[in-house]
Chains A and B, each alone.
Chain A
Amino acid sequence: MSLILGGMTAAKSSAPKTGHRTAKVSSTYRGVRVQATDGQSRFTLDQIKQAVEAAVVKNADALAGRTKA
Protein backbone atom coordinates (compact mmCIF):
# COMPACT_ATOMS: atom_id res chain seq x y z
CA MET A 1 0.00 0.00 0.00
CA SER A 2 2.15 2.75 -1.29
CA LEU A 3 0.21 5.58 0.39
CA ILE A 4 1.44 4.46 3.77
CA LEU A 5 4.89 3.13 3.17
CA GLY A 6 6.64 6.38 3.67
CA GLY A 7 6.50 9.79 5.20
CA MET A 8 3.29 11.11 3.77
CA THR A 9 1.31 14.28 4.00
CA ALA A 10 -2.42 14.24 3.49
CA ALA A 11 -4.07 17.44 2.39
CA LYS A 12 -7.46 18.74 1.51
CA SER A 13 -8.23 20.59 -1.67
CA SER A 14 -6.05 23.42 -0.46
CA ALA A 15 -3.04 21.65 -1.92
CA PRO A 16 -0.92 23.91 -4.12
CA LYS A 17 -1.73 24.03 -7.81
CA THR A 18 1.71 23.08 -9.03
CA GLY A 19 2.61 21.07 -12.09
CA HIS A 20 0.26 20.29 -14.91
CA ARG A 21 -2.53 17.82 -14.53
CA THR A 22 -3.21 15.40 -17.33
CA ALA A 23 -6.03 13.56 -15.61
CA LYS A 24 -8.45 15.14 -13.17
CA VAL A 25 -11.15 13.23 -11.37
CA SER A 26 -13.95 14.55 -9.23
CA SER A 27 -16.29 11.82 -8.07
CA THR A 28 -17.82 10.29 -4.99
CA TYR A 29 -16.77 7.19 -3.10
CA ARG A 30 -18.99 5.98 -0.23
CA GLY A 31 -20.31 9.46 0.33
CA VAL A 32 -16.89 11.09 0.26
CA ARG A 33 -15.75 13.28 -2.59
CA VAL A 34 -12.56 11.89 -4.08
CA GLN A 35 -10.08 14.74 -4.33
CA ALA A 36 -8.33 15.30 -7.62
CA THR A 37 -4.60 14.73 -7.54
CA ASP A 38 -2.31 17.45 -8.82
CA GLY A 39 0.51 15.19 -9.91
CA GLN A 40 1.35 14.55 -13.51
CA SER A 41 0.26 11.35 -15.17
CA ARG A 42 1.55 9.77 -18.32
CA PHE A 43 -2.03 8.92 -19.25
CA THR A 44 -5.14 10.81 -20.13
CA LEU A 45 -8.22 10.50 -17.97
CA ASP A 46 -9.96 8.58 -20.75
CA GLN A 47 -7.11 6.05 -20.92
CA ILE A 48 -7.27 5.46 -17.18
CA LYS A 49 -11.07 5.20 -17.19
CA GLN A 50 -10.96 2.67 -20.00
CA ALA A 51 -8.28 0.60 -18.26
CA VAL A 52 -10.23 0.58 -14.98
CA GLU A 53 -13.55 -0.18 -16.65
CA ALA A 54 -12.10 -3.08 -18.62
CA ALA A 55 -10.55 -4.51 -15.44
CA VAL A 56 -13.83 -4.16 -13.54
CA VAL A 57 -15.80 -5.84 -16.32
CA LYS A 58 -13.26 -8.66 -16.59
CA ASN A 59 -13.41 -9.24 -12.83
CA ALA A 60 -17.11 -8.54 -12.37
CA ASP A 61 -17.85 -11.94 -10.90
CA ALA A 62 -14.98 -11.72 -8.45
CA LEU A 63 -15.99 -8.21 -7.38
CA ALA A 64 -19.55 -9.47 -6.99
CA GLY A 65 -18.29 -12.18 -4.69
CA ARG A 66 -19.35 -14.92 -7.06
CA THR A 67 -15.82 -16.19 -7.66
CA LYS A 68 -12.44 -15.57 -6.14
CA ALA A 69 -10.43 -12.69 -7.64
Chain B
Amino acid sequence: MACGYAPRCALDYNDSGVVRFTEIVNMITACDRSIHDISRVELDRKSLLPRFNMPLELGADLGLRLAGPQLQRRRKSLILDSEAHRYDKTLSDISGMDIEAHSNDAREIIRLVRDWLNANREADAPPLPGAAAINDDHNAYLGIAHDIVANLRLDPHDDLPHSDYLHVVAVALPRIEIARAGALGASPTR
Protein backbone atom coordinates (compact mmCIF):
# COMPACT_ATOMS: atom_id res chain seq x y z
CA MET B 1 0.00 0.00 0.00
CA ALA B 2 2.94 2.31 0.68
CA CYS B 3 3.84 1.95 -3.00
CA GLY B 4 0.39 2.90 -4.26
CA TYR B 5 -1.01 -0.55 -4.94
CA ALA B 6 -4.11 -2.21 -3.56
CA PRO B 7 -3.02 -5.63 -2.35
CA ARG B 8 -5.27 -8.60 -2.88
CA CYS B 9 -4.74 -11.77 -0.93
CA ALA B 10 -6.33 -15.16 -0.51
CA LEU B 11 -7.11 -14.04 3.02
CA ASP B 12 -9.63 -11.61 1.51
CA TYR B 13 -11.95 -14.50 0.86
CA ASN B 14 -13.81 -16.28 3.60
CA ASP B 15 -16.92 -17.37 1.76
CA SER B 16 -17.45 -21.08 2.26
CA GLY B 17 -19.90 -21.07 -0.62
CA VAL B 18 -17.26 -20.64 -3.29
CA VAL B 19 -14.31 -22.78 -4.30
CA ARG B 20 -11.37 -20.94 -2.85
CA PHE B 21 -8.96 -21.73 -5.67
CA THR B 22 -11.42 -20.41 -8.25
CA GLU B 23 -11.56 -17.13 -6.40
CA ILE B 24 -7.77 -17.02 -6.13
CA VAL B 25 -7.37 -17.51 -9.88
CA ASN B 26 -9.99 -14.83 -10.53
CA MET B 27 -8.06 -12.53 -8.24
CA ILE B 28 -4.76 -13.23 -9.96
CA THR B 29 -6.21 -12.57 -13.40
CA ALA B 30 -7.66 -9.26 -12.20
CA CYS B 31 -4.20 -8.05 -11.20
CA ASP B 32 -1.17 -7.33 -13.33
CA ARG B 33 1.47 -7.93 -10.68
CA SER B 34 1.96 -10.84 -8.29
CA ILE B 35 4.21 -11.53 -5.33
CA HIS B 36 4.75 -15.07 -4.11
CA ASP B 37 6.68 -15.95 -0.97
CA ILE B 38 7.41 -19.65 -1.27
CA SER B 39 9.18 -19.66 2.08
CA ARG B 40 5.73 -19.84 3.64
CA VAL B 41 5.54 -23.54 2.84
CA GLU B 42 5.78 -24.60 6.46
CA LEU B 43 4.64 -27.55 8.44
CA ASP B 44 1.11 -27.38 9.75
CA ARG B 45 1.28 -27.17 13.53
CA LYS B 46 -1.27 -29.90 14.08
CA SER B 47 -0.71 -32.35 11.24
CA LEU B 48 3.00 -31.60 10.79
CA LEU B 49 2.39 -31.86 7.05
CA PRO B 50 3.61 -29.15 4.64
CA ARG B 51 1.09 -26.65 3.29
CA PHE B 52 1.31 -26.30 -0.48
CA ASN B 53 -1.02 -23.36 -1.11
CA MET B 54 1.80 -20.98 -2.03
CA PRO B 55 3.38 -23.17 -4.74
CA LEU B 56 -0.10 -23.89 -6.11
CA GLU B 57 -0.84 -20.16 -6.41
CA LEU B 58 2.57 -19.57 -7.98
CA GLY B 59 1.87 -22.32 -10.50
CA ALA B 60 -1.45 -20.75 -11.44
CA ASP B 61 0.26 -17.40 -11.90
CA LEU B 62 3.08 -18.80 -14.03
CA GLY B 63 0.62 -20.83 -16.08
CA LEU B 64 -1.31 -17.70 -16.96
CA ARG B 65 1.89 -15.90 -17.86
CA LEU B 66 3.21 -18.70 -20.04
CA ALA B 67 0.06 -19.93 -21.75
CA GLY B 68 -2.82 -17.70 -20.75
CA PRO B 69 -4.62 -15.02 -22.76
CA GLN B 70 -2.42 -12.37 -24.35
CA LEU B 71 -3.16 -9.84 -21.62
CA GLN B 72 -1.98 -12.23 -18.93
CA ARG B 73 1.35 -12.85 -20.68
CA ARG B 74 2.44 -9.35 -19.82
CA ARG B 75 1.97 -9.82 -16.09
CA LYS B 76 4.90 -9.34 -13.72
CA SER B 77 5.81 -11.65 -10.85
CA LEU B 78 8.15 -11.44 -7.90
CA ILE B 79 9.11 -14.74 -6.26
CA LEU B 80 10.61 -14.64 -2.79
CA ASP B 81 12.19 -17.29 -0.62
CA SER B 82 13.93 -17.15 2.72
CA GLU B 83 17.28 -18.49 1.49
CA ALA B 84 19.05 -18.26 -1.83
CA HIS B 85 18.70 -21.44 -3.91
CA ARG B 86 16.64 -23.23 -1.29
CA TYR B 87 14.06 -23.67 -4.04
CA ASP B 88 16.55 -25.90 -5.89
CA LYS B 89 15.64 -28.54 -3.34
CA THR B 90 12.00 -27.75 -2.71
CA LEU B 91 10.70 -26.50 -6.05
CA SER B 92 13.34 -27.42 -8.59
CA ASP B 93 11.07 -26.84 -11.61
CA ILE B 94 11.51 -23.10 -11.16
CA SER B 95 15.31 -23.30 -11.15
CA GLY B 96 16.71 -20.73 -13.52
CA MET B 97 14.19 -18.11 -12.53
CA ASP B 98 15.31 -15.02 -10.65
CA ILE B 99 14.24 -15.78 -7.08
CA GLU B 100 14.97 -13.19 -4.39
CA ALA B 101 16.03 -14.23 -0.88
CA HIS B 102 14.81 -12.20 2.11
CA SER B 103 16.37 -14.13 5.02
CA ASN B 104 13.09 -13.72 6.94
CA ASP B 105 14.05 -10.09 7.51
CA ALA B 106 11.15 -7.62 7.28
CA ARG B 107 13.47 -4.77 6.25
CA GLU B 108 14.83 -6.84 3.37
CA ILE B 109 11.34 -7.89 2.30
CA ILE B 110 10.28 -4.25 2.16
CA ARG B 111 13.36 -3.39 0.09
CA LEU B 112 12.86 -6.25 -2.36
CA VAL B 113 9.17 -5.52 -2.90
CA ARG B 114 9.67 -1.76 -3.16
CA ASP B 115 12.56 -2.08 -5.60
CA TRP B 116 10.65 -4.57 -7.74
CA LEU B 117 7.53 -2.41 -7.88
CA ASN B 118 9.66 0.65 -8.63
CA ALA B 119 11.47 -1.15 -11.46
CA ASN B 120 8.19 -2.27 -13.01
CA ARG B 121 6.38 1.07 -13.02
CA GLU B 122 5.37 2.90 -16.15
CA ALA B 123 8.23 4.87 -17.67
CA ASP B 124 6.66 8.22 -16.83
CA ALA B 125 5.63 7.29 -13.28
CA PRO B 126 7.42 9.08 -10.43
CA PRO B 127 9.76 6.98 -8.29
CA LEU B 128 8.36 5.28 -5.24
CA PRO B 129 9.30 6.25 -1.69
CA GLY B 130 12.62 4.83 -0.59
CA ALA B 131 12.77 1.47 1.18
CA ALA B 132 14.37 2.98 4.28
CA ALA B 133 11.55 5.51 4.66
CA ILE B 134 8.90 2.84 4.17
CA ASN B 135 10.63 0.61 6.69
CA ASP B 136 10.80 3.40 9.27
CA ASP B 137 7.12 4.18 8.75
CA HIS B 138 6.31 0.49 9.05
CA ASN B 139 8.10 0.36 12.37
CA ALA B 140 6.24 3.49 13.46
CA TYR B 141 2.98 1.81 12.51
CA LEU B 142 3.86 -1.27 14.54
CA GLY B 143 4.60 1.05 17.47
CA ILE B 144 1.05 2.41 17.50
CA ALA B 145 -0.81 -0.60 16.13
CA HIS B 146 -1.77 -1.92 19.54
CA ASP B 147 -3.37 1.42 20.40
CA ILE B 148 -5.28 1.52 17.11
CA VAL B 149 -6.56 -1.98 17.77
CA ALA B 150 -7.47 -1.09 21.34
CA ASN B 151 -9.35 2.00 20.15
CA LEU B 152 -11.36 -0.20 17.80
CA ARG B 153 -11.90 -2.70 20.63
CA LEU B 154 -10.50 -5.46 18.51
CA ASP B 155 -8.54 -8.59 19.13
CA PRO B 156 -4.73 -8.49 19.13
CA HIS B 157 -3.17 -6.98 16.02
CA ASP B 158 -1.99 -10.29 14.62
CA ASP B 159 -5.59 -11.45 14.60
CA LEU B 160 -6.88 -8.50 12.59
CA PRO B 161 -8.85 -9.75 9.61
CA HIS B 162 -6.93 -8.92 6.45
CA SER B 163 -9.62 -6.56 5.12
CA ASP B 164 -9.72 -4.59 8.36
CA TYR B 165 -5.92 -4.46 8.39
CA LEU B 166 -5.84 -2.92 4.91
CA HIS B 167 -8.38 -0.26 5.81
CA VAL B 168 -6.45 0.65 8.95
CA VAL B 169 -3.14 0.87 7.10
CA ALA B 170 -4.67 3.02 4.34
CA VAL B 171 -5.68 5.58 6.96
CA ALA B 172 -2.57 5.26 9.13
CA LEU B 173 0.14 5.64 6.47
CA PRO B 174 -0.50 9.29 5.53
CA ARG B 175 -1.08 10.20 9.17
CA ILE B 176 2.19 8.58 10.28
CA GLU B 177 4.08 10.39 7.53
CA ILE B 178 2.78 13.73 8.77
CA ALA B 179 3.55 12.90 12.39
CA ARG B 180 7.10 11.84 11.57
CA ALA B 181 7.71 14.72 9.18
CA GLY B 182 6.59 17.11 11.89
CA ALA B 183 9.14 15.51 14.13
CA LEU B 184 11.81 16.38 11.65
CA GLY B 185 10.59 19.95 11.42
CA ALA B 186 10.24 19.70 7.68
CA SER B 187 7.72 18.93 5.00
CA PRO B 188 7.11 15.28 4.14
CA THR B 189 9.88 13.99 1.91
CA ARG B 190 10.55 10.80 0.04
Contacts and interface: CB of A to CB of B under 8 A. Distances in A.
Interface of A: 1-16, 23, 25, 27-43, 45, 47-56, 58-60, 62-66, 69
Given A10-B5, A64-B183, 12 more contacts: A6-B53, A7-B35, A27-B171, A27-B174, A30-B133, A39-B163, A48-B152, A49-B171, A54-B147, A56-B176, A59-B144, A63-B183
Interface residues of B, number: 75
Q: Main secondary structure on chain B at its contact with chain A?
A: helix
Max chain B CB contacts within 10 Å: which of A15, A33, A62?
A: A15
A64 B180 contact: yes
B144 to A, nearest CB: 4
B31 A48 contact: no
Contacts of B148: 51-52, 55
16 contacts: A4-B35, A6-B40, A7-B10, A7-B24, A10-B117, A11-B5, A14-B31, A16-B30, A29-B1, A34-B173, A37-B167, A54-B151, A56-B176, A62-B143, A63-B180, A65-B180
